Amino acid sequence: MKTIFETSATHTGGSKGHVASDAGTIDLDIMPSSAQGNNNKATTPEELLAAGFAASFAGALESAAGEHGINSLEDITVTVHIAGNEDEDGMFLEATLDVYIPEVDKKTGEALVNDAHERCTFSQATQDNITVNLNLLLD
């Protein structure tokens, strides 16, 4: 195995704490998801997961699109919704990805989304751990 990159972040405090990346690009107060809406200056772990997943999926989509001959991706959007659900077995997360790819037909769009899902490191990390729903949004 060859390490391609490495990054790290440190959280201090409990569920209401602070997280910072060693690079200094992340420096955020954290709150539990149950308190979301009470303090819009703090983020939640799930919000950070959604942001990372969206960015990772967009990168994978860019890679897949290039192989399909699509080079203009400036208008694509990837929105990740993370839901905290609960059933008789306890709490669990579910991710829904809304992927907007303008000016492609449904068949091409579905191929791109599925290809990106296979490549995306967040998709791989969550595989068999959380439900991931993929939605292709077209013009």
Do 22 and 10 meet the contact criterion of CB atoms below 8 Å apart? yes
Instruction: Based on the fold, state whether residues 12 and 74 are members of the same structural domain.
Output: no
Alpha-carbon dihedral sign for residues 59, 128, 131, 17: negative
The rounded distance, in Å, linking the Cα atoms of 69 and 66 is 5
Structural domain count, the chain:
2
Instruction: Based on the fold, state whether residues 37 and 56 are members of the same structural domain.
Output: no
Instruction: Output the tens digit of pLDDT for each of the chain's 139 residues.
Output: 999 999 999 999 998 999 999 999 999 999 988 756 665 688 999 999 999 999 999 999 999 998 888 887 888 999 999 999 999 999 999 999 999 998 899 999 999 999 999 999 999 999 999 999 999 998 8
Other Cβ atoms within 10 Å of 44 Cβ, number: 19
Instruction: Based on the fold, state whether residues 85 and 123 are members of the same structural domain.
Output: yes
Dig out the tokens for 54 from the structure: 């969206």
Instruction: Based on the fold, state whether residues 87 and 104 are members of the same structural domain.
Output: yes
Instruction: Based on the fold, state whether residues 73 and 132 are members of the same structural domain.
Output: yes
Instruction: Based on the fold, state whether residues 114 and 65 are members of the same structural domain.
Output: yes
Range of the domain at 31: 1-43
pLDDT recorded at residue 73: 82
pLDDT recorded at residue 91: 92
